[in-house]
Structure 1
Amino acid sequence: MRTIALVTAVAATGHDDDLAPLLDACADAGLHARAVAWDDPTVHWGRFDTVLLRSPWDYTERLPEFLAWAEQVDRVSALLNPLNVVRWNTDKHYLADLAAIGIPTVPTSFVEPDAEPMDALARFLGAFPDSGEFVVKPAVSAGARDTQRYRRDQQFAAGNHIARLLDQDRSVMLQPYVATVDAAGETALVYFAGRFSHALRKGAQLPPGESARQAPMAAGDITARDALPSELALAERILAATARLRQLDAPLAYARVDLLPGPDGHPCLLELELTEPSLFFDQAPGSAARFAALLADPLADATVRARMDRA
């Protein structure tokens, strides 16, 4: 019987709604799955055939430690998703990589820790004069933590927010607020082994004048949704571009592509979740079983082992 570690965190205890259905589905598929915290020093990771990242949601506050742990695991087991993808995807500078090769993304300006906050904000606002609202967020973050929506007349508050993040040696992202999300919401498209599984509508996470909803530990406004052909086409472009950028020789075990309708009505990428996304099994009956069947597939196991042998 193959053994799988479903990697979580102590801070996520009781908040990962995907964990119970996935444990049940793995058991039904003939897998021995166990939920374990990534920073538990008593765990011997080499005892697992596969180490599957699911909800290590405190990594954003401990990224160097988390990546060092992932490197250790990659030496002794099959880490999913693979290490080079995890390194890239845990910092949202990946959006610049995708935009540079023609993927439509929400326009993003990065402010690095040595920058002067108000000068950077002024340059950003000058570049987007028609944007009535904008978003400040850290480049390393999960969900909407430390993220806020501002009006143009709130530059002083936004500048303080930027300065606070930069003082913590964190890179900052500035984005025009895409107002279409307030009515339409985000579309999250979930893929297993490169195949589309299901789509969801996620309600707006940044209500005006309120603190950001603290995802990923809050389900928020999540409902099943049919993906549009244009959304499916863009998601597949994004996954293909990621495979080229990261030189992947096999489809990713899982991916969640979060899209917004842009001002022109065409979808654009908000975030590409390849490390620890919620997959919302409860909103898509049968999806946990499909994912567990992938993990149990001997061909998938052979592909992972071949990759480990070449490493």
Structure 2
Amino acid sequence: MSTPSAPTARIALATCAELPGLDPDDAPLVAALEARGIASDAVVWDDPTVDWGAYAAVVIRSTWDYTERPAQFAEWARRVEHSSRLLNPADVVTWNIDKTYLRDLERAGLPIVPTIWLDPERNLDSRAIHTRFPAFGDFVIKPTVSAGSRGTGRYSAGETQSRSLAITHAKNLLGVGRRVMLQRYLSSADSVGETAVVFVDGEVSHSVRKAPSLAGPYRQGEGGEGTLHRDVVRDAETASEAELDLARRVVAALPQLVPGVAHPLLYTRVDLLPDDQGRPVVLELEVTEPSLYLQQGPQAADAFADALVARL
């Protein structure tokens, strides 16, 4: 496959039908590409009329409705990769779609938020689900394929009604064949907030602090399916040395976790929370379609654009 030279290359920035002009977070990237003589188009990922081979590269950005059709999205990624350069690559995207990737991180010795996994194949009844709840504190139930807190609820182990709602939530997800994550809700999410460390071309670009997004039980239609949810950025910040160390360890482990990832990815975001002892643990690793908070990183869009041009 021939690739256009950089001055004439055209880039597709993949998005979803609800955001046909991209998320505002990506505006600095569009401008940075223009400054380098690179034209870009916002293209809806599931538009059947698109010729992806007409683009020198396809960069996945705000494709945030894919969680309702993960198999279709994975097939799309493979198809695009056959006709263009997909960034990030299809192998890592497919691996990252389902949050069971956290199991891989944990097996590699990387600390994650304590998680119990519920698989639909086990046909768990209400009692079996309930026995897996923590004895105290708050906890979170969510499907392993989700984005922006879709299908996610927060519950209290010390309240009978809350536990009952949690059982119903988990059973409803399992009943339609979805794998479920049951995680302790770390209180630091409220008192400190999540730290997101953004990498461009394998190097730390910038970090931000995100506000908590979960207040109570999941209810269909309230910030759930069919609604795009954006993180609330509390402030730009410099991550602590402990946070940066863990984030770098996560990025360094990717070649061992995902076959075919031999070079730094164009972009990576590692979301962290302090545990009960104040040590950072991984909440999520985002290498598919994360917000990269380019407006909070003064040099981030330029670095992103340079790394992208180097791949053409």
Scaled by the length of structure 2, what TM-score is found? 0.90
SS at match of 1:137: strand
1-structure distance, mates of 2:148, 2:231? 11
Please, which of 131, 134, 138 is the counterpart of residue 139 of structure 2? 134
Compared CA separation, residues 209 and 148, structure 1 to 2 (3 A): closer
Where does residue 266 of structure 2 map in the other structure? 253
Return the offset for 1:219.
3.9
SS at match of 1:235: helix
Please, which of 66, 77, 87 is the counterpart of residue 94 of structure 2? 87
Where does residue 202 of structure 1 map in the other structure? 210
Where does residue 281 of structure 2 map in the other structure? 268
Question: Residues 43-88 of structure 1, C-alpha deviation per residue, up to 9 Å, x if partnerless?
Answer: 1011111111001111000111111111110111111111110111
Contact between 1:15 and 1:217, CA under 8 Å: does it hold in 2? no
Return the offset for 1:14.
6.1
Where does residue 4 of structure 2 map in the other structure? none
Compared CA separation, residues 60 and 257, structure 1 to 2 (3 A): same
Compared CA separation, residues 52 and 14, structure 1 to 2 (3 A): closer
1:217 equivalent in alignment to 2:229: yes
SS at match of 1:290: helix
Please, which of 123, 128, 140 is the counterpart of residue 131 of structure 2? 123
Report percent identity of matched pairs. Answer: 43
2-structure distance, mates of 1:232, 1:203? 19
Paired residues, what number?
Answer: 296
Q: Once structures 1 and 2 are overlaid, which stretch shifts more, 267-276 or 150-159? A: 150-159
The alignment's C-alpha RMSD in Å is 1.8
Please, which of 8, 15, 24 is the counterpart of residue 8 of structure 1? 15
Return the offset for 1:208.
4.4
SS at match of 1:173: strand
SS at match of 2:141: strand
Deviant stretches of 4+, over 4 Å: 208-216
SS at match of 1:189: strand
Contact between 1:111 and 1:120, CA under 8 Å: does it hold in 2? no
SS at match of 2:278: coil
SS at match of 1:169: coil
Where does residue 42 of structure 1 map in the other structure? 49
SS at match of 1:259: strand
Equivalent position amino acid for 1:33 in 2: S
Contact between 2:21 and 2:42, CA under 8 Å: does it hold in 1? no
Question: Residues 172-203 of structure 1, C-alpha deviation per residue, up to 9 Å, x if partnerless?
Answer: 10001101111100000000010000000001
Q: Once structures 1 and 2 are overlaid, which stretch shifts more, 273-282 or 207-216? A: 207-216
1-structure distance, mates of 2:57, 2:272? 30
2-structure distance, mates of 1:137, 1:89? 16
Contact between 2:169 and 2:218, CA under 8 Å: does it hold in 1? no
Where does residue 178 of structure 1 map in the other structure? 186
Give ranges in structure 2 of 5+ residues lacking alignment. 1-7
Contact between 1:50 and 1:77, CA under 8 Å: does it hold in 2? yes
2-structure distance, mates of 1:285, 1:34? 23
Give ranges in structure 1 of 5+ residues lacking alignment. 302-311
2-structure distance, mates of 1:59, 1:117? 29
Return the offset for 1:209.
6.5
Equivalent position amino acid for 2:214 in 1: L
Equivalent position amino acid for 2:212 in 1: A
Contact between 1:93 and 1:139, CA under 8 Å: does it hold in 2? yes
Contact between 1:15 and 1:218, CA under 8 Å: does it hold in 2? no
Scaled by the length of structure 1, what TM-score is found? 0.90
Compared CA separation, residues 213 and 231, structure 1 to 2 (3 A): farther
1-structure distance, mates of 2:287, 2:186? 23
Equivalent position amino acid for 2:147 in 1: A
Return the offset for 1:15.
6.8
1-structure distance, mates of 2:202, 2:73? 26
Compared CA separation, residues 56 and 210, structure 1 to 2 (3 A): closer
Contact between 1:133 and 1:177, CA under 8 Å: does it hold in 2? yes
More helix as a share of residues: 1
1-structure distance, mates of 2:299, 2:290? 18
Contact between 1:216 and 1:278, CA under 8 Å: does it hold in 2? no
